Structure 1
Amino acid sequence: MKLPWLYVGICFSSFWVSPRLVWRPGYAAEQLEEVMKKLAPELFISQPDLLHQLVTIMNPNTLMAHGVPIYRTNQCAGEFVITFPRAYHSGFNQGFNFAEAVNFCTVDWLPLGRQCVEHYRALNRYCVFSHDEMICKWPLKAEELDVVLASSVQKDLVVMIEEEKALREAVRKMGVVESEKINLELLADDERQCAKCKTTCFTSAVYCPCSPGALVCLHHVDALCSCPSSSISWGIATKPWMICTPMMNAVKLRAESYDNWRLSY
């Protein structure tokens, strides 16, 4: 994710991802998406994640006419432009140029990352990596974490745990009682993606003998098959970080050391 990309552009060539000319602020992302769907609904029918495919652009004047805020900047040689989360951007090259772009994330990105997973789930879009897996790996090296990072990881773990508990309870109420421990981490990402929303499963998944190789996340149990719930099985990750384990306690203690320090001043 953090490998830099080099873009080569000719004069007047347009772009939809490289930061150079026109930006829509992140806080107006939903507003822009609504306007785009309103003006070109037919494009979203077959491709709900159209705006993530970098193939469609709308005239900025049209967007502004519908109340979408637009900011324009002119990036010259040697200048840096930072694009914040959910900020759509596009523009055109004013001459032949080479431009470099790279992704980076600060500690406060973690809750935004979880929101992104929910957004991708609604669009049935593949995730680049499993957010839950990333969060669950950090407690293994709790003592090596920066205390600020540990605090953010601990907070995100709590959110993940509460959501997982609620989803598992909902699955049980649906009548899915057969369960077994599995290690989804050993599967390739394309083998553990929800058949419905394409989310990469890590903490749990649901599957049925009638559909070998197919599985869904706990959000989409009803989309798996038409078999009765009693014949469906659900798997629990063999490394259940979602419950209070020594690893969870370790990252909590590391995080509390930061909170205690902060409150002392």
Structure 2
Amino acid sequence: MTVTLLFFWVDDWLQVGKLLDITGAVGTYYLGVSRNARVSDAVTQAHWSIRGHRNRHFHDLYARIRNERIPHDEYGSDLVLWKHSEDNYKPHFSSSRTYDQIRIRRSKVGWSKSVWFSQEVPRYSFIVLLAVKNILSTGDHMRAWGIQQSCVMCGEPDETRDHIFFACPYTFTVWDRLAGRLSGGRSDPNWDTTLQFITNNDLGSIDKILIKMVFQTCIYYMWKDRNERRHQRGFRTVDQAVRVIDKAIRNGISSLRYKADHKLAGLMQRWFEVF
């Protein structure tokens, strides 16, 4: 493969990385190759046209370039390949393969399936993600801004993520009413216990989907309820909150439109049974 089409400074044609990263901007001056030059521009009459043998800067790089085979038409046409993985190049581009190479990989977290799953509602899962990472603007975080915020639903002076979901008597009552029968009476006011149960439980396949939908919908509307109360935009009783969340769950199930899938088509029927 010849390299005449590659850019001298920003393409890894020497297999040592970008030359511009090695030399910095001054490299263009010391090697005498312009910033936008291609590799072929650094060749004159079948010889490398670079300077540096009398310069004390970048001796090793200069020697490496001089030892590289000079691009020439007799070696064939340039071939453009896309890197799919380490030492794996193909003629077609893959966005997923490219993303895998540039993203920062971290170990998979245990709660991921409680946040992202096929039946999720994106706006619900986003709030759940913020809750799981404990970065919602709860009272304990707002103290750093000089704002004192107690729980507007029960009056607890220390409003935290764990209190709202679901140590608060109001939110736990709503959560228990919605998830109690579905979880087999295992609804718990402790956040860690609840998240662990949503992530790993021995429920049937339909109930596993439903409990995650209930969990996400409940968190979304309890957080919305908290904000509406804080800004004096409304107040819902437990019964009203349960009805709102129940309707949202039913709408979410109806929007799935999996009539051909008997397992998912049974979601609504099962929800009628347990609620």
Q: TM-score, normalised by structure 1?
A: 0.21
Higher relative contact order (CA 8 A, sep 6+): 1
Greater Rg by CA: 2
Q: TM-score, normalised by structure 2?
A: 0.20
Question: Which structure has greater strand proportion?
Answer: 1
Question: Which structure has greater helix proportion?
Answer: 2
